[in-house]
Amino acid sequence: MKLLKRITSTMLSMTIIAGAAAAGIPEKMTTSAANSNVMYYDVFSDIQNRINAEKAKFPDGYYWNHRGLSSYNEDTYTDKPCHHAQDYAKEEKCCSETRINSIGDQSIGDRGQCYGFAYKLAKDIWGTTEFYRYYVDQNYEPKIGDNVRLEFYVEGLPSYEKQGHSIFITDISGENITFAECNGELQDCKIRWGRTDYYEKLIYENISVEDYNGNQITKKLVKGDPTSLTTVTKTYLREHATEYFRPVIAGDLNRNGILDSDDAYKFADSIMTKGTTLYGTKFSYYDVNGDGHIDSSDYNEIRYGSYNLRIVMPGESTTSRWSSLNNAYGFRYYDDCYYIKNDLGGVSWIGSLDTEKSTIYVPSRVYSEKDKCWYDVNEIGYDGYNGHLWRTCTANYKTNTIYIPDTVKRIHSYAFENWSLRSLRFSGSNPQLETVDTFAFYECKSLEKLDLSPAKKLKSIGNFAFEGCEALYHIDLPFTGSAINLGSGSGSIFGNTDPLSAAIEIKNPNNSTSPASNYQRINISEMDYNHWINDNLYYYGKLFKLYNGEYYLGQVNNNKGFLRP
């Protein structure tokens, strides 16, 4: 038999590895569960080899440009310098460029010269284009692999005409910094490796150059003041750097380079509570284990796997399994589910934040931080009124099995709307369930059997409770000693869905027709009566009596069997 059809932080100013020396290699090494994941520690341990590969790709003393070439890409260099003032005047720009899709939430585009080259090294070495931008203060602790932006006032120019320069840190020895750069002299895109000094101040001069029409025009030429050349140290960077860039580590929401309790709080307070990310960041920044979606395993990875630092890769297609339950009066418990106080003096379970959990266990009691007390969980789902009826339970769960505690007395309308539910089970031995409301299992298309026989206080199942449950073919009912009302009036517990020969079985443990109270009374609605007489619905068991309202339809005695019209 078968039934119906239905269903900026302030900065990464602390070191990325707590307690590690700025230039050292982390002691803790991990690999990801998925081979495709790129882990921060693995890259950092190999960073000098990666830097050497970039040195071979972009030889020292050459120029990151495409002068004289008809085609080029990010890896193109030549042995001919740029002449920026002259080239720009003639609109003959030949600097190479790299594509910077975004940094954090900011779109950048194609960038050349020092900025583009430092970013090119960073994305080659770290293997990603996903970087956080951090602002420099006196707490900044440089690290090998940092892409650092310097900024200078130019003597003789207005303060708003500041000049920037980008470098990529390749080594740190004590306080001293070694770096790679392009266009360090601000006029020719020359590639330099192993540089350890730079200018304290910049100056400019006006030069006469020829424009594209052959006319002489004046251009400013900014350059370093040779008398100010100095060793670049950590202190120098704290004085002259404005920002730096490091790869995005999945789950590092406070951007301090480790996964800690603050990240867990931010994770819970954003994606888990509101269904949205912090600062408009990408879903991939939350996908700690790199499996392509955000769920409770990512949250637990932050709480218990603080060394598993996965670098976020460009173009990750990540979905979120976390759902926001938009109810200002609800609260979240430690099981990552939402609850709301109800009229029974307890709370209603209104949904798990992870909509793809295959199994959900609803606890019998939960603690409210706001009220500082424990509540019994005595309802599943909740209907609120705010000018009109609105429901708080979340639809479209991928959950197959839900366990409800003995304390639950009522399953509300739409509690399991469009779930992938296959089984509802009771986690205790004395269920108090009394009521299954209208539309409670609305559109649960995968539900085939429903065993309510442990619920020995069951009183009623509302009309439309199984509307759209197209696979449902068997329902077990308990012996309660009192009438169980299945639907009412002219309605049906199956709503507008034809039950297609579903069976309702009464699990009566009694064996004698005497006393009369050993019979279980079942009251059915008008439409389910019609289903019964048309052989679209069957009643089976022993020691039960069937009624349509007060109209007696028949009974089955102590020999188990079907009640026929």
pLDDT, mean over the chain: 88
Name the domain count of the chain.
Answer: 3
- Number of other residues whose CB lies within 10 A of the CB of residue 389: 9
Which residues does residue 205 pair with via DSSP β-bridges, in sequence order? 221
pLDDT of 478 > 70? The answer is: yes
CB 1 within 8 A of CB 503: yes
Whether residue 156 sits in one domain with residue 97: yes
Whether residue 200 sits in one domain with residue 87: yes
Residue range 106-160, pLDDT digits in tens: 556 678 899 999 999 999 999 999 999 999 999 999 999 999 999 999 988 888 8
Stretch among 52-66, 334-348, 527-541 having the lowest mean pLDDT: 334-348
Distances (CA, A) of 45 to 20, 94, 123, 145, 475: 12, 36, 16, 11, 60
Last residue within a domain, chosen from 320, 342, 360: 320
Tokens for 356?
Answer: 């793809």
Whether residue 540 sits in one domain with residue 470: yes
Last residue within a domain, chosen from 320, 340, 356: 320
pLDDT value at residue 266: 94
Residue range 46-74, pLDDT digits in tens: 999 999 999 999 999 999 999 999 899 99
pTM recorded for the entire structure: 0.70
How remote is the C-alpha of 235 from its chain's centroid? 38
Whether residue 279 sits in one domain with residue 168: no
Which contacts of 46-49 are long-range, i.e. CB under 8 A and separated by 24 or more positions?
A: 47/125, 47/144, 47/145
pLDDT of 484 > 90? The answer is: yes
**Is 428 a domain residue?**
yes
First-to-final CA distance of the chain? 18
Q: Which of 104-118, 206-220, 314-328, 499-513 is the most confident on average? A: 499-513
Whether residue 234 sits in one domain with residue 289: no
pLDDT of 25 > 50? The answer is: no
Residue range 433-471, pLDDT digits in tens: 999 999 999 999 999 999 999 999 999 999 999 999 999
Tokens for 275?
Answer: 């269904």
- Residues 6 or more apart whose Cβ sits within 8 Å of residue 506: 477, 479, 520, 522, 539, 540, 541, 542, 543, 544
Select the more confidently predicted residue: 73 or 395.
73
Stretch among 103-107, 124-128, 288-292, 499-503 having the lowest mean pLDDT: 103-107
pLDDT of 13 > 50? The answer is: no
Tokens for 503?
Answer: 């069976």
pLDDT of 324 > 70? The answer is: no
How remote is the C-alpha of 226 from its chain's centroid? 51
Select the more confidently predicted residue: 2 or 526.
526
Residue range 29-48, pLDDT digits in tens: 333 334 479 999 999 999 99
**Is 380 a domain residue?**
yes
Residue range 266-276, pLDDT digits in tens: 998 888 777 78
Work out the burial of residue 81: count CB atoms within 10 Å of its CB; fewer than 13 is exposed, 13-18 middle, 19 or more buried. Answer: middle
**Residue among 494, 440, 452 nearest 472 (CA):** 494
pLDDT value at residue 238: 98
Residue range 166-210, pLDDT digits in tens: 999 999 999 999 999 999 999 899 999 999 999 999 998 888 877
Whether residue 282 sits in one domain with residue 138: no
Stretch among 159-168, 172-181, 505-514 having the lowest mean pLDDT: 159-168
Tokens for 399?
Answer: 């959950």
Dist. CA 297–CA 288, nearest whole Å = 8
Segments forming the whole domain that contains residue 148: 46-247
pLDDT value at residue 391: 57
Whether residue 310 sits in one domain with residue 353: no
Whether residue 496 sits in one domain with residue 427: yes
| DSSP string over 281-321 | --GGGG-TT-SSEE-HHHHHHHHH-TT--EEPPTT---EE-
